[in-house]
Amino acid sequence: MNFNHVMIKTNNLDKAAGFYRDVMDMKIVVQKSIENTRLWFLSNSDNSLQLELMETNENLNFNKPMHLGFSVKSMDEFSKKINNLGYKFSKEPFDITGHGSNVAFLYDNDGYEIEVVEKVVW
């Protein structure tokens, strides 16, 4: 069995897709409408991760602990990128293991927490 995708709800599909496209380097691969619901699927460069964005008018509740985790080659380069795009970390990069595993957190436009990891060395 393989993990297929993660779905998150958004109140603004265009804005949400823009965040994942511009900040997280994902591309829109499928755009669907089912009845009155718009669904967009995004994928990373090697298609190993797929994210489904579902547009909704629901009140989005973030009382549940969860985050989406992404890896980057360089935390310094990623930090420059998000600053240039006008985003800020909610928790600045720090070494989570004491061995050079840089981790940082930020939020997307809908309030979903995003974890960014440079490398993991336990």
Q: What is the pTM of this model?
A: 0.87
Task: Report the SS3 class of residue 94.
Answer: strand
Give me the residues of the chain with pLDDT under 50, please. none
The CATH classification number of 1-57 equals 3.10.180.10
Minimal CA–CA distance to 44: which of 60, 21, 66? 21
**Domain 1-57 and domain 66-122 have a common topology:** yes
Domains of the chain by residue range: 1-57, 66-122
Tokens 């981790």, located at residue: 103
pLDDT in tens, 36-61: 899 999 999 998 889 999 999 988 87
What kind of fold does domain 66-122 have according to CATH?
2,3-Dihydroxybiphenyl 1,2-Dioxygenase; domain 1 (3.10.180)
pLDDT confidence of residue 89? 97
Residues 21 and 41: their CA atoms lie apart, in Å, by: 11
